[in-house]
Structure 1
């Protein structure tokens, strides 16, 4: 049987100090030649406990316009809960392979939920050095426990606790983004599906890679969702494209990294920018990350908020169902 999981390939190729050719990027994509070395990008760090609301709105708005990414501190999610989330995910990926395969994406399955490796059409047959697990965690009506690990036993409870702590943080961020557009607190959230907004968790597992200068974990992309709220581990890997160069993003313990995604760019009519990013891999250490994608329901139509459209500022994007947007993006079709 051909081994397809990167975690298994890593355990073999480490013996030889090489990686299969399908993981070697073209020269103009290789981290060694495209990263600005020695410079860690100081993406805005925002203290969301700041009592000066106007100043908070201004910082989030500015970060979303000029960077499309920022880190938030003093967000209110206990550090111990973030550690529990990380440990539960790590324990799952350290299980024997056959136990992980129990929740693998079924053959022919069109959805993204489940354990797997390949995500979308691979350009030129190239692969990312990463395995992943996807499953929805909110609202309850959207959850399919078939794709939640039964091991470790604490997995479900930990993830349920985490999402309950994350919802108020996400609501606060969406409210601040709304204010930054000159709208009422709830208008951005309503424009994304309101209380039906779907929380999709992904766990990325990037095993040690013998040739980190030649491979990428995840190729350059913007997120399809509205915003992504990400917990990283301490191993460097996230890079952002800024001023025509790739830069490492600094790791801040217990901070949450917030990405502006495509739906917020659309909804804001281009005022906020979806961040173009990728991930690199490490020679000695496993990198992991826990992005939570806040997605509109599949049938929900997202387009520029009408209040933001004027004669001088016409709509720059089409209004379309989220599922249709996703289909076009995954199949590399024009929007």
Structure 2
């Protein structure tokens, strides 16, 4: 059995504490913007994360098809995040994926520790909690399970949960279907840039090299949710990120200078545009700053699949077709891993900026 030295937030949360440890308390400048997530979700005024109905994306009716693609492109350019409905992945499969993840996190911590990761030795897949301090030295109120789910020949099934027994089958099938959805989205975004349909997918590694990494985020109840964050403000480094959740609100987006709480939309998949697509599109599609709130009443679980290019085989830079004299390249050439390292180095950047660091 591998026993991790990481503090498990679930253990802390279930210990009966009424005051959270200081390392989970956010800096003063952040605290003024953290509200009650249930009250925030109820608000009717203000901007709303767009919902894109994908039913028409492959329609034989060209008008319906183009309308759907235009709405998706507009959401990617204006928000960089959206709820996808009628996405083609069966509700029954999604429920199986959620049930499998919930069952794993319902196991005793000692049982989950058998799958513990060890970031110090580079073993990043498995059960974990945040170890490395970030720029402000704070920890996040979450535990997680992280592993590669696609392509299938790159998976390490030895670290996949054995309990529940449906975990492998449900997660594998979901990854396969999500990979197909990613192709549809990338094709639409390519056409939206005036490129051929397969161009963006080719630029992020194609069928062979494009990686899907699943991170199940477990946010326990927090006795002082007004002081903590489940996930601090960040942009995703991925090309695309697809998110399921257990219908407990928590996701917030930094839009037009304010934090906007995403509403819970039934049978939807949340999709983020990541830094990789922002860079390739020279900023025409947005990688939006976002964070996760926690609460006192309910455990929140989310299933995030990060669709990423290979770490070092591809140079990420604005595609020539997206650059002109009026719009020079906004990002220097870097590999994916160099971009990640650059972001870590720049972690002290102003969290109130909704641009990725250049």
Would the TM-score normalized by the shorter structure come out above 0.5? yes
Shorter-normalised TM range: over 0.9
Partner of 1:102, secondary structure, is helix
1:165 aligns with 2:177: yes
Partner of 2:120, secondary structure, is coil
Which string of whole-angstrom CA distances, capped at 9 and with x for unpartnered residues, describes residues 180-214 of structure 1?
Answer: 11111111111111111000011000001111111
Figure out how many residues of one structure are paired with residues of the other and give that number.
333
Query: Aligned partners of 1:330, 1:95: CA distance in 2, in Å?
Result: 33
Query: What is the correspondence of 1:255-294 to structure 2 with a 5 Å cutoff?
Result: 255-294=268-307
2:146 to 131, 134, 137: 134
From the superposition, tell whether residues 119 and 262 of structure 1 become closer, same or farther in structure 2 (CA, over 3 Å): farther
Whether the 8 Å contact between 2:6 and 2:129 is mirrored in structure 1 is no
Deviates more, 1:33-42 or 1:277-286: 33-42
Which string of whole-angstrom CA distances, capped at 9 and with x for unpartnered residues, describes residues 101-146 of structure 1?
Answer: 1221125223532211116542332111001111000112321223
Partner of 1:62, secondary structure, is helix
Q: What TM-score, normalized to structure 1?
A: 0.94
Which string of whole-angstrom CA distances, capped at 9 and with x for unpartnered residues, describes residues 256-277 of structure 1?
Answer: 1010110000000011110110
From the superposition, tell whether residues 305 and 32 of structure 1 become closer, same or farther in structure 2 (CA, over 3 Å): closer
Query: What is the correspondence of 1:49-198 to structure 2 with a 5 Å cutoff?
Result: 49-50=55-56, 51=59, 52-106=64-118, 108-110=120-122, 112-118=124-130, 120-195=132-207, 196-198=209-211
Partner of 2:335: 321
Query: Aligned partners of 2:35, 2:177: CA distance in 1, in Å?
Result: 40
**RMSD of equivalent CA atoms:** 2.0
Query: Aligned partners of 1:330, 1:149: CA distance in 2, in Å?
Result: 30
Partner of 2:259, secondary structure, is strand
Partner of 2:242, secondary structure, is strand
Query: Aligned partners of 2:75, 2:6: CA distance in 1, in Å?
Result: 42
Partner of 1:39: 43
Query: Aligned partners of 1:193, 1:171: CA distance in 2, in Å?
Result: 12
From the superposition, tell whether residues 293 and 303 of structure 1 become closer, same or farther in structure 2 (CA, over 3 Å): same
Query: Aligned partners of 1:329, 1:197: CA distance in 2, in Å?
Result: 21
Whether the 8 Å contact between 1:34 and 1:245 is mirrored in structure 2 is no
CA deviation after TM superposition for structure 1 residue 249, in Å: 0.3
Query: Aligned partners of 1:190, 1:2: CA distance in 2, in Å?
Result: 41
Whether the 8 Å contact between 1:113 and 1:134 is mirrored in structure 2 is yes
Partner of 1:204: 217
Query: Aligned partners of 1:34, 1:309: CA distance in 2, in Å?
Result: 43
Query: Aligned partners of 1:223, 1:99: CA distance in 2, in Å?
Result: 30
CA deviation after TM superposition for structure 1 residue 147, in Å: 2.7
Which string of whole-angstrom CA distances, capped at 9 and with x for unpartnered residues, describes residues 63-103 of structure 1?
Answer: 11111111110011111111110111111111111221122
Query: Aligned partners of 2:329, 2:187: CA distance in 1, in Å?
Result: 22
Whether the 8 Å contact between 1:92 and 1:151 is mirrored in structure 2 is yes
Query: Aligned partners of 2:156, 2:345: CA distance in 1, in Å?
Result: 25
From the superposition, tell whether residues 119 and 246 of structure 1 become closer, same or farther in structure 2 (CA, over 3 Å): farther
Q: Which runs of 5+ in 2 are unaligned?
A: 348-356
